[in-house]
Structure formats: structure tokens, C-alpha cells
Structure 1
Amino acid sequence: MLNEKQLEDIRILQHACEREDFSLKLNWETLRSRTGVNKNDFLHYDGSKLVGFLGLYDFGNKVEMCGMVHPDFRRQGIFTKLAQEAIESARKRKDKLLILNSPAQSSSGKQFLSQLPCKLAFSEFQMKWSETTLEDYEDVVVRPSHRDDEETEVQLDIHCFQFTEKEAREYYQRILYENTLKTMIIEKDGRAVGKIRVDHSGGEAWIYGFSIFPKFQGKGIGKKVLKKVVAEQSQHGYDIFLEVEATNEHALRLYESCGFKTIERQDYYQYKGM
């Protein structure tokens, strides 16, 4: 588990690395809610200064890895050492794919990955909402999630994100007490048909876990929900972001139709040495 000083050190290091005009996906909602069950965070200090960090993130049947080294401390073997430790930790999680994440614009990240047994698996677009008029969403019902919605949330992750039941239940418990993450349930005719999560960090609103049961898809519910949530977050003064896989053309068109524009791309490589 990370203490408050370590979290602040990671944030300072992230800012130093992102001066190179790319964004690192460090999943802050996860970093703040580590349980300590697995070793997921690997830190390298030079004296009292954090100069290297690498994190592992469990998502369904995947373990994602993302990290960074301060620009002034690169080419010293720091990231190689952190990666070796992280890969060994990931190997202990049976039946998990290890996915390595790098911003598409990061030349140092791509250079490091070229030395590993991995190949590009998929890309993900990070999108930001550009203020636009949003209409025709008044009749959709989106309410806060309660503890008795657990089964709905679990089943949505199983049916829409291909989690196993065990993975879905573990994920539900892991994010349950995350203070900045708000889960909302989507209803149609009094029945729970989907969910959407919003994480507030650093004055921004990030949309996650947006999912609707397959039998209710294609009916215009998703577009109305997205409009409603975006309008509410905008009224509160937040910049609004989300992520979508490049291969998910339907979701991409939905987000673009509601005013989202691509600002960055993250590339994901599957590690072949497990």
C-alpha cells in the first residue's frame, strides 16, 4: 500500500515526465485504493527524491504495467530493474496476460519495449469533451449506486468487459471505498440496465466503466446517458475525459457525436515471456 508521501512523490515525478508532451496512464483511482494483497508498486529513490516508478494494475484477465523514470536519471538501468521486479510479481498471478502500456508519443517508452518479447496488442484513445450543445436526455434515469446494486455491477462487468465472476467481484470490492470514484446506475422503466463511473481527480472528471446490458444496447440509452452525465459534470466546472479502444468503432462514434475529441493515444503491448 502506498502512503501519502509516496503518492505525492509519484505525482511530482509524473509531472516531470509529462513535460515531454505526453500523458502517462497511472490509474490514480487504483493507486489510492491499493489493498496490499499483491506487490503492485515499485519505487526507486535517489536519496529522498523519487526518480523511478512502475505500477501493476489488475483488470479482469489482464495485468497492465505502466511506469516512468525522471528524464535526468534515464539510461542508468533504473526502469529495467523495476520492470524485472514487476514481471516476477505478475508471473505469480496465474492465467493473467501481462500488458505493457506506453504513450504513443513516448520515444523512450517505445525504445524500452523494443528490447522485450512483446508485440502491439491494441491502442486506446484518450478523449476530451469539447463544449457543445447537449439536448434530448431529460427522460433518462441515472442514480447513485447502492450496496444492493452489487450484483448488477458485477454482471455488467462480466457481460460487457469479459471479467470472470471472481474478477468482477474482486474489482467491485476494490473500488467500493474509493473516495473520488462515483458509480451511477442507469435505469430503464424502473429496471437497472447499465452503469457509468466518474472519477474526480485534479479538477478533472474521467468517465469509466460505461456499460449497458447487451439486450438493451442499440436503443439510444447510452447516448442519452452520456449526454446527461457530461452536462452535469460540465455544469460543475470539470474538464471531462474518457478512454476508448481504437477498435471499438461504435463507442468511438458515440463519443464523437457527443462532442469528445481525441487528444492522445496509448499503446498496449502483450508480453510474451510469461
Structure 2
Amino acid sequence: MTYSTHLSPTASPAVVLRQQDDHDRAFLHGLYLSRRWAEVSAVPGWHDDQRRDFLVSQAELQRQHYEKHYPAADFLIIEQAGLPIGRLCVNRQANDVRIVDIALLPAWHGQGIGTQLLQSLLAEADALGRSCSLSVEQGSPARRLYERLGFQSGADSGLYTQMQRPVRPVAQEDLDNP
């Protein structure tokens, strides 16, 4: 299944979301490395091959964890102009739309793509009468974006803070003008 979302005219052209498959594993490893490389670069005594091997193993553990704990989730690849630029994992439940993971390659940060995807998910949650939740790492700059979009901090679980955007009723004019 392929989804398409059109961003504002000032942002990039159409972003396509498609189901990830086994052919995406190398891209997902690279995406994970791009997110964690600075962290493991601080580990003394490791050379780059060791860092890369460690991060690939961590990416695989993350994949296994997500598949085990979110078997019904949509595991999506974010594409722009036919190239993968990120991933989105969304687990829809009866009362909540859980954003399990959202990540873009660094070159695509700050272009409004993540914001537009989050706004789209929030609109979906609102239309369904559901809250929207996610986890964010302590100190992550993404937390400011989540707060601007109405997410509220909840429990801290060590490295992560749980955040939730409460259910928002859809305005009647939105129902009248789909």
C-alpha cells in the first residue's frame, strides 16, 4: 500500500509513504547509524568498523522489538522523489494512535516533512476520536516540536519520556466540509 501526502508549497514536493519490506533493511540500518553515530563515536577505543557493527546489531534489535511489541503497526518508508529519506512506524489502537518511530535522514531535517507527517497523524487521530502518543529521548530537540503540536509529557522511563496529545474533538465545520 502506498500513501501520498502533499506538503505545503514551501516544503518539498509530494512525500510518499509505502510499506517497508526486506529490501529496505540496508536503508534502515543506514538511517539508524545516522541517528546514533555521534553517540557511539564518543566511545573510546572503538574503531569505525566496530561502531558500525554495533549500531547495525542495535538496529536489528530495534526491528525485532518493534515487530514483537507492535505486530499490527504500519512500518512505512518515507520517500521523496522515489528515494527513501526516512521511516514512520504507526500503531493504531482502539483509543490511541501510537507513533512508534519517526525518523528522517539528517539532510531532510528542518524542511517541515516531519511536522507535516505528525500533523497528518494528529488529524487522523482527531477524526477517529483517539489520542496520539509517542516516546521521546531525554534531551531530544524533537521534544519542542512535539510540545508545539500539543503533546504533553507523561511518565519518564529512564532514557525516554512518554508524551500524549489528548483527544481533540473535530470541529463541526470540518465534518461539514471534508
Distance 2:20 2:125 in 1: 17
Structure 2: 5+ residue stretches without partners: 1-6, 38-53, 160-178
Q: State the Cα deviation string for residues 138-157 of structure 1 (Å, max 9, x = none).
A: 94322222232222222222
Aligned pairs (5 A) from 1:1-274: 136=8, 139-161=14-36, 164-176=55-67, 178-201=70-93, 203-248=95-140, 250-262=141-153, 264-268=154-158
AA in 2 matched with 1:183: F
Q: State the Cα deviation string for residues 52-81 of structure 1 (Å, max 9, x = none).
A: xxxxxxxxxxxxxxxxxxxxxxxxxxxxxx
**Alpha-carbon contact 1:185-1:195 (below 8 Å) kept:** yes
Q: Relative to total residues, which structure has the larger strand share, 1 or 2?
A: 1
Q: State the Cα deviation string for residues 134-188 of structure 1 (Å, max 9, x = none).
A: x949943222222322222222222214561122124324544642222111112
Q: State the Cα deviation string for residues 184-214 of structure 1 (Å, max 9, x = none).
A: 1111222110011112345322112211111
**Alpha-carbon contact 2:78-2:85 (below 8 Å) kept:** yes
AA in 1 matched with 2:120: K
Distance 1:210 1:257 in 2: 17
Distance 1:247 1:153 in 2: 23
Q: Relative to total residues, which structure has the larger helix share, 1 or 2?
A: 2
AA in 1 matched with 2:80: K
Query: Cα 1:222–1:205, aligned 2, differ >3 Å: closer, same or farther?
Result: same
**Alpha-carbon contact 1:154-1:172 (below 8 Å) kept:** no
**Alpha-carbon contact 2:73-2:92 (below 8 Å) kept:** yes
AA in 1 matched with 2:158: Y
TM-score by length of 1: 0.42
Question: What fraction of aligned residue pairs are identical, expressed as a percent?
Answer: 26
How many residues end up aligned between the 2 structures? 133
**Alpha-carbon contact 1:140-1:225 (below 8 Å) kept:** no
**Alpha-carbon contact 1:200-1:206 (below 8 Å) kept:** yes
Distance 2:74 2:101 in 1: 11
Report the secondary structure of 1:183's partner residue: strand
TM-score by length of 2: 0.61
AA in 2 matched with 1:265: A
- Runs of 4+ in structure 1 displaced over 3 angstroms? 135-140, 173-178
Ranked by relative contact order (alpha carbons within 8 Å, sequence separation 6 or more), the top structure is 1
**Alpha-carbon contact 2:86-2:105 (below 8 Å) kept:** yes
